[in-house]
Each structure stands twice: as structure tokens, then as C-alpha cells.
């Protein structure tokens, strides 16, 4: 992979460069009204280190009928927020028309959402619309844990001349996300940084956590891993929020969170190693689960075969030589680099346990 040499990203040229404290990007999940935007922004303006106000204008929703965002009028409200607070503004764009409208309304930073990063047609459409435009773009990880897809999106933008690129880690959709809304898979970001060491990385704690109680551990973990900043959803009254109500904080709650995080991390390297170890351990647990599941499936099939054997009307399945079965397994074990004696022991035990002696001739 030669991405790191072709994409000469430089943190120091990022307009969102981290100083001694991480960059904080905050704002409501969705723009809902001018009043909601202003009340929230004025609350956030007082927070130390807050540099960007975010709000979703167009919302990707799983099913129709849910709040899809207010659309273009929300861009006017973002403009008002900028005028009233001096904060830079950011919103998600999902295709070229969004890009044109956001830029026309003076949005400072564009975000490519997780549901867009997965679609190379849309990313290319956005990249084409950004040819010759000098605007920072933050690319969220794709919904599915596919590192190359994430890197590919960055490459498309880079080829269009976007130099000020950053990534937002918002977690992944996996087989089992518990206890998160989106599994962080921290190791993925460690890997991404190996390929693109200079890319600024922001943690979207809200979409990883999915609930307020997990925002602190997720945010702290990101700081321990030396992330460049945090993105946190905030609303002046989360109970009224039209999307993601359960994960948004009031500005004063966000203030409290930011004040009580530990910023004196002196060993990001060992935190990184820790993250890798934890991912590996999780992966082994996942494989153990799969092993168990396979054994259960095999046992159900054995039972089914036994039923066939018992029914007089049905011809018995063909009896096969156990020696041949085992022989094939051992050849497979050899090519897979697994110890043959170990494989022999396991399969003999499995066979014995399910007593299929009449399916296999000894």
C-alpha cells in the first residue's frame, strides 16, 4: 500500500490542528429550528476549546417516515450561528448538490457521513464537486469495518485536490455491537494511522456510544489513543431532539464532561498496543463463539441424520469410510497449518460424542 507516499497529508496544515488540547466539534444531531440552533450554539460558545459547531441538515434515515432533516433552510440557520457566535460550522453532505448548497451558504467544514463513505459513486460525486475548492473535509468511517473503503474515500478527495482532510471515527456496525451503538473497533484506527500517520483523527463519541452513560469512557479512550479531537452531539434540550435524543448532551453537561476528562496522556503508544491486544482478544472470543455455533449446527445435523436412519421408508444415507473422512481432514489441516494430531483428536472426539458410528464405517 503506497497511500502514505501518494497522500502527503500534513497535520500542521490542517485548519483543525490540535494545540495542547483536543479539537472539540459539537452541536445537534439535526438542525430543527433557528431557535434550537441558536440556543444550543450560545450554550456551546462558552465551552473552552470548542472550535466547530456541527448540525445535520440532511439526515440519512433507515426507513422513510422518520425525520429526514430540515434541508436547505437549516443552512441559513448555520449561517446565523456563525454570525452570532463566531464558531466555524460543519454539516454532512451526501452528494454534489449538498456540496454546492453548503458552500453557497458558507459552511466551513464538510463531513462525509458513514452511510456515504460506503458508496464510492457518491464519494466520487462529492470529490468531483470539490475540484478546485479549498475546504476542509472530514470523512467518517464507513458503516462496515472496511479499512480500504475508508482509505479509498480519502484518496478520491485527495485526487480532487482536497488537502485539508481528517477522519471521524464513529464506530462500525458489527455482528454484536454491545454495549455500544456502533462498535469502536479501536484497532481499525490504529491500522489507519499506520497507513496515514499524519491524518487528524476525531472521535465521534456520540455515535459510538449511542447513550450518554458511555460518552465518558469512549471519549477518554480516544484521548488515551492520542486522537486529535472529539465530536459530541449537543442540544439545548435533548428530550426534544428529533433524532438521536438519547445520545445528546446539554451544553453544560458537555462542559462537565470536557472538564473532567484526563488530558495528561503520556503513553499513547502503550494505549495503542493495548487497543490492538483488546481487539485481538475480542476477535478470538468471536471465533470461539463461532466454533461453538458450528458444533451446535453439526449436532443438529447429526440428529437429523439419525432421524433419517430411523425412518424405514427412507433409504439410509450412504455410509462412508471414516478413514477417508479423517484422511481428507488431515490433508486440509496440513494445508491450513494446523497440527494434525490436534485435528485428529478433535474430530475423533466429535465423532465419538455424536455417536455416528453407523454413518461412518470404522
Binding site for ligand PEP (CB under 6 A): 29, 56, 60, 113-115, 140, 170, 204, 207
The C-alpha cell that represents 52 in the structure block: 466547530
- Given candidates 244, 254, 257, 359, which one binds Mn ion under the rule CB under 5 A? 244
Distance CA 325, CA 121 (A): 48
Q: Return the residue of 7, 9, 25, 29 that touches Mn ion, per CB under 5 A.
A: 29
Closest approach, Cβ 147 to ligand PEP, in A, equals 17
- Residue 68 CB, shortest distance to ligand PEP, in Å, is 11
Applying the rule CB under 5 A, the residues between 169 and 228 that interact with Mn ion are: none
Nearer to ligand PEP, 95 or 115 (CB): 115
Q: How far is the CB of 305 from ligand PEP (least distance, A)?
A: 46
CA atoms within 13 A on the CB side of 252: 3
126: nearest Cα among 106, 147, 155: 155
User: Judged by CB under 5 A, which stretch of 88-96, 241-249, 294-302, 304-312 contacts Mn ion?
Assistant: 241-249
User: What are 24's strand-pairing partners?
Assistant: 50, 230
The C-alpha R_g of the chain, in whole angstroms, comes to 26
- Taking contact as CB under 5 A, which single stretch among the options 26-34, 43-51, 157-165, 303-311 is the one that binds Mn ion? 26-34
CA pair distance 300, 296, nearest whole angstrom: 6
Closest CB to ligand PEP: residue number: 113
DSSP one-letter code for 234: B
Rounded to 10 degrees, the C-alpha dihedral 268/269/273/275 comes to: 20
Q: State the DSSP H helix or E strand holding residue 233, giving kind and residue range, or none if neither.
A: strand 229-233
- Nearest position to Mn ion, beta carbon: 29
Identify the bridge partners of residue 111 per DSSP, sorted by sequence position: 92, 138
Residue closer to ligand PEP by CB (options 93, 129) is 93
Residue 49's binding partner, choosing from ligand PEP, Mn ion, none, with beta-carbon cut-off 5 to 8 A by kind? none
| Beta-carbon count within 10 A of 127 CB | 23
Of 108 and 204, nearer to ligand PEP (C-beta) is 204
- Percentages helix, strand, coil for the chain, rounded to the nearest 5? 50, 15, 35
Compute how many residues bind Mn ion; rule: CB under 5 A: 2
Contact 39, 236 (CB under 8 A): yes
Least distance CB 136 / ligand PEP (angstroms): 16
Nearest distance from C-beta of residue 319 to Mn ion, angstroms? 59
Residue 55 binds Mn ion (CB under 5 A): no
DSSP-based three-state secondary structure for 24 = strand
Cα torsion for 91, 93, 97, 101, to the nearest 10°?
10
Q: Which stretch binds Mn ion (CB under 5 A): 24-32, 102-110, 134-142, 345-353?
A: 24-32
Q: What is the greatest pairwise CA distance in the chain? A: 84
114 binds, among ligand PEP, Mn ion, none (CB under 5 to 8 A by kind): ligand PEP
- Closest distance of CB 317 from ligand PEP, Å: 49
In a 10 Å sphere around its CB, with 0-12 CB exposed, 13-18 middle and 19+ buried, how is residue 136 labelled? Answer: buried
Least distance from C-beta 357 to Mn ion, angstroms?
58
Instruction: Kindly state the smallest distance separating residue 116's Cβ from ligand PEP, in Å.
Output: 7
Binding site for Mn ion (CB under 5 A): 29, 244
Amino acid at each position: 500500500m503506497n497511500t502514505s507516499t501518494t497522500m502527503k497529508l500534513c497535520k500542521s496544515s490542517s485548519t483543525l490542528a490540535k494545540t495542547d488540547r483536543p479539537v472539540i466539534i459539537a452541536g445537534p444531531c439535526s438542525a430543527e429550528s433557528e431557535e434550537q440552533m441558536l440556543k444550543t450554539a450560545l450554550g456551546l460558545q462558552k465551552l473552552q476549546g470548542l472550535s466547530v459547531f456541527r448540525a445535520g441538515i440532511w439526515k440519512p434515515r433507515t426507513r422513510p417516515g422518520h425525520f429526514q432533516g430540515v434541508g436547505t433552510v437549516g443552512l441559513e440557520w448555520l449561517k446565523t450561528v456563525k454570525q452570532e457566535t463566531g464558531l466555524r460550522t460543519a454539516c454532512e453532505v451526501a452528494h454534489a448538490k449538498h456540496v454546492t448548497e453548503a458552500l453557497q451558504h458558507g459552511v466551513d467544514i464538510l463531513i462525509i457521513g458513514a452511510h456515504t463513505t460506503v458508496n464510492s459513486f457518491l464519494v466520487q460525486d462529492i470529490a468531483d464537486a470539490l475540484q478546485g475548492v479549498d475546504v476542509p473535509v472530514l470523512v467518517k468511517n464507513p458503516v462496515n469495518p472496511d479499512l480500504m473503503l475508508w482509505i479509498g474515500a480519502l484518496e478520491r478527495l485527495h485526487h480532487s485536490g482536497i488537502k485539508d482532510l481528517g477522519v471521524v471515527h464513529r464506530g462500525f456496525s458489527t455482528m454484536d455491537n454491545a454495549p455500544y451503538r456502533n462498535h469502536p473497533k479501536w484497532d481499525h484506527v490504529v491500522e489507519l494511522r499506520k497507513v496515514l500517520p499524519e491524518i487528524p483523527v476525531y472521535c465521534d463519541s456520540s455515535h459510538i456510544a449511542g447513550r450518554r452513560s458511555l460518552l465518558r469512557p469512549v471519549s477518554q479512550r480516544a484521548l488515551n489513543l492520542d486522537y486529535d479531537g472529539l465530536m459530541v452531539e449537543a442540544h439545548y434540550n435533548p428530550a426534544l431532539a428529533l433524532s438521536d435524543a438519547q445520545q445528546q448532551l446539554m451544553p453544560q453537561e458537555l462542559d462537565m464532561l470536557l472538564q473532567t476528562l484526563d488530558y495528561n496522556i503520556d503513553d499513547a503508544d502503550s494505549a495503542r498496543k493495548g487497543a490492538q491486544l483488546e481487539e485481538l482478544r475480542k476477535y478470538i472470543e468471536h471465533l470461539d463463539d463461532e466454533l461453538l455455533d458450528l458444533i451446535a449446527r453439526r449436532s443438529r445435523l447429526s440428529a437429523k441424520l439419525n432421524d433419517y436412519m430411523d425412518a424405514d421408508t427412507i433409504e439410509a444415507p450412504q455410509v462412508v469410510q471414516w478413514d477417508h473422512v479423517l484422511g481428507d481432514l488431515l490433508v486440509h489441516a496440513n494445508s491450513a497449518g494446523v497440527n494434525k494430531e490436534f485435528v485428529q483428536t478433535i474430530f475423533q472426539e466429535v465423532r465419538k460424542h455424536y455417536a455416528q458410528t453407523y454413518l461412518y464405517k470404522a
